[in-house]
A and B are shown apart, each in its own frame.
Chain A
Amino acid sequence: MSAREVSFTTLLRRAGAADPTRAAGLVEEIQEIVGIEFQDPATLVSYLADPDAGLLQLVRLAEAARDAGHVDTLRGLAATEAGAKLGVLLGGSLALGDFLIRHPELLGDFEAWADAPPFPEIDVRAALLEAVGADPADDAPVAAIGGAEGQRAMRVAYRRALMRVASEDLYSHAPPTLMPAVGAALADLAGAALEAGLAIARHDEPDHAATRLAIIAMGKCGARELNYVSDVDVIYVAEPAEGVEDDRSLRVATRLAVAAAKTCSGMGVEPALWEVDPNLRPEGRDGPLVRNVSAHRAYYERWAETWEFQALLKARPVAGDPEVGERYIEAMWPMVWSAVERDGFVESAQAMRRRVEQHVPAAEADRQIKLGPGGLRDVEFTIQMLQLVHGRADESLRVRGTLDALARLRAGGYVGRPQAATMDRSYRQLRVWEHRLQMRKLTRTHLMPEGDQERRVLARASGFATVHYMDEVWTDIRRDVRAMHLEMFYRPILPVVARLSADEARLDDAAARARLAAVGFVDPAGAYRHIQALTEGVSRSAAIQRQLMPAMIGWFAQGADPDAGLLAFRQLSEQLSSSQWYLKLLRDSATAAERLARLLSTSGYVARALLASGEAVTWLDRDEDLVPRAYDRLWGEADAVLRRSNDPPQAITALRGLRRRELSRVAAADVLGMINASRAALAVSHAADMVIEGALRIAQHQVREARGLDALPIRFAVIAMGRYGGLEMGYQSDADVQFVWDGDTKDGQAIAVQIAQELRTLLQKVGPQPPLEIDADLRPEGRNGPLARSLASCTEYYGRWADPWEAQALLRARPCAGDTDLREAFVRMIDGVRYPERLPDGALKQMRLLKARMEAERLPRGIDPRRHLKLGPGGLSDVEWVVQLTQLRHGHAHPELRTTITLEALAAAADLDLISRPDATQLRSAWVLATDLRGALALRGNVRDTDVLPGDVRELGVLAGILGSSLTGSQLDERYSRNARRARGVTERLFFGWDEDAR
């Protein structure tokens, strides 16, 4: 191998050839066929987007030119601008290269362009009509050739013009600048193709004069911003020729329309151009293909849905009878601008946007230039929404094109100048990528390519030095576009609301309110006032609020109750107005502001908790802060407080504050979907454990002081009972407990009762921090018994007197505070009671009777029992009684059953086959759902009784949202009813023994 060859392949590699040896061969081949010697082949190659494929195309083209006798033309192009345009075309578009290879006679075009007018000015309609022998001056031109021949002639003429557009596009030094002209040229070309198609159809339709058909383009074609390959959305409208009946006119027009569309999209020798899609017409697929103007109008006046008006925004006559087309536009166009007044406009527009986003397969979302997050659709949607919202009052906004509309929104002060500039730049760049991708094989793609080679070609074609750099820009653009939706939509509300001196965006009051209503605020006037209060003035905080507010408004709008969210935000902000960190955190944190907006607009409970203590806002910035604290850590904190303090009131306030803090933390995490309901219940129970243990220490200290003792002569413990014992406490539950003591002293009982009373007072007394109600009614003898009992007395009582329900209540007994030895002794003592060797005679009957009575008596009056989550059929209590009966019966034989936690006991019973798997599953799902719903109701914080499922389907929908479920309100209702019915069936069988089939 000679030295020159080595350096040549290296040069070719540097120029971008993936296989330089082969490329070198191809260069040789071209030179040989065409009979020239390239001066600097490597530099030439470097201009090709895809050097390898481009060179191969050039070889094939050279061969075709040679065979057809055009090799001289090809040779003449060497080292000219025309030749350069041919080169970039071959490197950028394989499909158009193939076209040229099919038609080497068109090589002469490249030279001719130099003398022709610039491409945006050529009359493509005339060119295409002439190609099929029709007279462009005629309003209803008829082709001289029809059928397949006409089709072929039209398509060749179309592609010939397309070749010009693509070469100029690829040759341009600033494709984003050229982009609007390219889009307009492509749209005109599509219109011309339809016009020529119609001329051919007329040639084949003897009765064509009976009708005056106009073709209206919608979408991108209508807006003169078409891309290279796209479905062309059309609507057909026809009026009868004079003296012709409408029926006949429509029949003929339908035939013409079908034939014209087929000319563009049907099979043929020369491949199809694109699909013609008439499905945006009234009634979609089911509607007649062609209507007259008044039928169109009647449809839109009566039936059309919101999105159909959005589609009309881009309507423009592109082919056929110009006068009929004009009449159509005159009739329809004004209706677009009143669409926003329709009921449900906002909802359906938002729903549509969500649908579009959901349609993108997740795997592709990141590569979608059009539909993905931050893609073209986002830009278009934002601009169209703004046009629709403000176009009603301001006629200057009534334009079709995206960039044009953006410019006018900016000029009218509806969006800020920097935002408009970013949006404009992003849109153009996205479109350039889309064009380059489609041009390559003339396919309708909107996906960023995956393969390295493909991405390299795209980067080269769109003027990026490296793939890496292109990726960076792509990421930036998507981020900008996403943010820009919020920026453009909400930010301009501020200047008017906050009475700032005229900024670049200048909405008036009415426009600002229109936007607030448009995003879902039920009371835009109220929202306006809140925003005003937050953002008005020259203070530093008002300035930061002005930065925050656009995004915040958007997040509130996504919540269950935007108005309540904004109000709470105003209250919170006013309360924290002097805290330096608050606004700074919201401004600088990546997550805090969004989370805060979600919490405030969803959960009344959390909103109140945050208002009670704003410090909790800081957690929103850090996920670790939203994890419930483990008990040990919590107790560590409480212990430290107690050690530091020798002032009981101050110490108990601190402990109660700790509990309140933990509850807020858990609730926030719960609403944000970071923990589930049972985890939340566990954390809430632990917070109670902590505060009770702490309060006990203080109470013991106080009793000792009061009695002047060095040390207490008794040991003392607190036993958690009921739901608290099962670690299943709700946010607002009381703590069920009983008190036990032990010791050999005569005033032991008095001391113990004093401690218990003291402890209750400490926890329940009104104070700066929320109380924890202590309920000791489950103790022996209930309210009639002494508040605290000695271990010996308990032993005797349970051994002798206890009813079965008391043994059952002990199943949930869990010592939660006090002396460790005593706690253990107590558990040893009650184990004999709650896990008896065999259930005493009559106990089962008594339990059943008691439960039946509770069902009849305990339910509150006036509600549907089925909606009572706790005591209703299939509610929590049903499940728990089944589980507890199993524990009573089998706990002695099976230590696995010995737990106070319902779900653990249920799982153990299923493992032991004491409850069948299917039954256990039904019980479990009913219990979990009821628990989740109670939690959600407490978090929602707008009802007093969290045990009753609301009947309002909207409210149920909000609960489903808190549960992180996608069910609708009715579906949630149905699911609860079903779970509860099944659980009730199991209960009746296993607990009541009602089914004769049961063993």
Chain B
Amino acid sequence: MDKQQEYVLRSVEERDIRFIRLWFTDVLGILKSVAIAPAELENAFAEGIGFDGSAVEGLTRVYEADMIAKPDPATFQILPWRGERQGAARMFCDIFTPDGEPALSDPRQVLKRTLDKASAQGFSFYTHPEIEFYLFKQFESGQQPVPVDRAGYFDNVPRGTAHNFRREAITMLENMGISVEFSHHEAGPGQNEIDLRYADALTTADNVMTFRTVIKEVALEQGVFASFMPKPLFEAPGSGMHTHMSLFEGDRNAFHEPSGEMGLSLVARQFMAGLLRHAPEITAITNQYVNSYKRLWGGAEAPSYVCWGSNNRSALVRVPVHKPGKGQSARVEYRAMDSAANPYLAFSVLLAAGLKGIEEGLELPEGAEDDVWELSNAERRAMGYEPLPTSLAEAITEMERSELVAETLGERVFDFVLRNKRAEWESYRAQVTPYELDTYLSVL
């Protein structure tokens, strides 16, 4: 710990860093940043930096506005896009109350708390997200977004932008110490996917936050616009963040059991059973916006029903087949989450749901082999495939009743999310949309 702090101080001096950005995340998953000068850094480590928490969504109630941000030196990173020398660097922070207690409303602390619970049972939690997003041409607010590579007949390098973009973005991510597993062009026009390498959930969540910033930065540099909106285009697929998960007991993948069905251990099966059982009530966290439900119920591989399958791309929980002898990579994939989720909270509820399954020894229902979308309603009901919430409103109702989510997030975050989401739903419901005008105005 102290060695790391020393290392940070040394690096700041050696690399002539002029600003250190202290990063933290509000309850909705929006990155916040406080810049400090190197001279303040030592004090920031020792005592933290005070700031007015009431200005940040969901962090505090007004009457206890003072909060302390303490940088985590293990997350120190030079920001590659701020010039050559005289650069900037960032660290993620944990938020504390003025008394030095961890702030109950800091999403990073929520995840740390949940990881502690797992570690009390001997588990560490690893995740690996596949992050999808769209690239658009620069546009004015109010205009329709135009994807970069359906640009127009006269553009003679129609696929060049995205390719270049990904190369730049990946270089920058690697510069920031974030390993990239895979990247490719996705199904939608202008849609891209970049997969981050397996890491422990806290690192991954930090990486997701960094990733979003890097992608937006690179896009700006290249004169395009990146968005993680779950469903930006009506006719194209939405942007999900399929998340692969596994639990490790020390160095051993606890999901792996060579003799088990599909190489899965009992722990893995119970974990999956927990995910399925609690899927509806955690959806307001994994899919937190009104727009999220347009992706979730827009077809095109989005998992709308609670079931699992091996290599079944319509299932909510998928078991990817791993090569024989690669037991360490045994994992399960949760496909509902979208790219706009708050990764700290989303990983927390996923882990909590899975752990609950293990704790209660839940039995995994039979897997789904059909394409669930092809079945009739009656068939689905007969087979016991419950739908996920179809709207933010339904998701809120499910979450409201959830002890699991309340316990995981803590009462304060739980309450804030509910209030915030209810307000979002109400303001959305009040809108008159272009769709309604098109459909009704002339006819009625």
Contact = CB atoms under 8 A, between A and B. Distances in A.
Interface of A: 282-283, 286-287, 298-299, 302-303, 864, 866, 951-954, 957, 968-970, 973-974, 977-978, 981, 985
Rank and list the top 4 A-B pairs by shortest CB-CB distance, nearest first: A977-B411, A951-B63, A303-B2, A951-B64
Contact of B61 (A283, A298, A951, A985): A951
A952 B121 CA distance: 34
Given A953-B97, A953-B99, A974-B410, A287 B3 contact: yes
Contact of B104 (A283, A864, A957, A970): A970
Interface of B is mostly: helix
A981 B401 contact: no
B436 interface: no
Contacts of B401: 985
A549 to B, nearest CB: 30
B237 to A, nearest CB: 35
A953 B101 contact: yes
Interface in B10-42: 42
Nearest to A867: B61
Given A302-B42, A951-B63, A282 B2 contact: yes
B406 interface: yes
A953 B64 contact: yes
Given A286-B3, A969-B101, A970-B97, 7 more contacts: A299-B2, A302-B2, A302-B42, A953-B97, A954-B99, A969-B99, A977-B415
A974 B63 CA distance: 16
Nearest to B5: A303
Nearest to A303: B2
B104 A974 contact: yes
B412 interface: yes
A43 B99 CA distance: 67
A866 B415 contact: yes
B1 A286 contact: yes
A981 B411 contact: yes
B67 to A, nearest CB: 12
6 contacts: A951-B61, A951-B63, A951-B64, A953-B64, A974-B104, A978-B407
B13 to A, nearest CB: 13
Contacts of A866: 415
Contacts of B102: 970
Contacts of A283: 1-3
Contacts of A286: 1, 3
Considering residues B2, B401, B407, B415, which has the most beta carbons from chain A within 10 angstroms of its beta carbon? B2
A298 B6 CA distance: 10
Contacts, number: 54
Contact of A974 (B2, B42, B61, B411): B411
Interface string B370-392: 00000000000000000000000
A303 B101 CA distance: 20
A957 B64 CA distance: 15
B52 to A, nearest CB: 15
Interface in B89-108: 97-99, 101-102, 104
A334 to B, nearest CB: 21
Contacts of A303: 2, 5
B61 A864 contact: yes
A605 to B, nearest CB: 23
Nearest to A951: B63
Nearest to A975: B411
Given A283-B3, A974-B412, A952 B64 contact: yes
Nearest to A985: B401
A339 B412 CA distance: 38
B432 to A, nearest CB: 29
A526 B357 CA distance: 59
B183 to A, nearest CB: 37
B63 to A, nearest CB: 4
A968 B104 CA distance: 12
Interface string B395-439: 000000100001100111011000000000000000000000000
Nearest to B410: A974
Contacts of A298: 6
Nearest to A974: B411
Nearest to A950: B63
Contacts of A970: 97, 101-102, 104
Contact of B406 (A282, A302, A953, A981): A981
Contacts of B101: 953, 968-970
Nearest to B98: A953
B411 A978 contact: yes
A977 B61 contact: no
A96 B411 CA distance: 62
Contacts of A953: 64, 97-99, 101
Nearest to A954: B99
A999 B411 CA distance: 28
A968 B2 CA distance: 27
Nearest to B418: A981
A302 B412 CA distance: 36
A510 B63 CA distance: 38
Contacts of B2: 282-283, 287, 299, 302-303
A302 B43 CA distance: 10
A507 B406 CA distance: 56
Contacts of B406: 978, 981
A969 B1 CA distance: 27
Contacts of A968: 101
Contacts of B410: 974
B3 to A, nearest CB: 6
Contacts of A299: 2
A842 to B, nearest CB: 29
A864 B415 CA distance: 12
A952 B406 CA distance: 22
A953 B412 CA distance: 14
A283 B98 CA distance: 25
A302 B2 CA distance: 9
A727 to B, nearest CB: 31
Interface string B33-70: 00000000010000000000000000001011000000
A900 B5 CA distance: 62
A978 B412 CA distance: 9
Contacts of A282: 2
Contacts of B97: 953, 970
Contacts of B6: 298, 302
A174 to B, nearest CB: 48
A969 to B, nearest CB: 7
B315 to A, nearest CB: 28
A285 to B, nearest CB: 12
B106 to A, nearest CB: 12
A951 B53 CA distance: 14
A287 B411 CA distance: 38
Contacts of A981: 406, 411, 414-415
Contacts of B64: 951-953
B402 to A, nearest CB: 11
A957 B97 CA distance: 13
B422 to A, nearest CB: 14
Nearest to A298: B6
Contacts of A957: 99
Contacts of B414: 981
A974 B414 CA distance: 11
A968 B415 CA distance: 21
Contacts of A952: 63-64
A966 to B, nearest CB: 14
A864 B416 CA distance: 12
A970 B101 CA distance: 8
B141 to A, nearest CB: 35
A578 B97 CA distance: 47
A302 B6 CA distance: 9
Nearest to A287: B3
A176 to B, nearest CB: 43
B280 to A, nearest CB: 15
Nearest to A997: B401
Contacts of A864: 61
Nearest to A995: B401
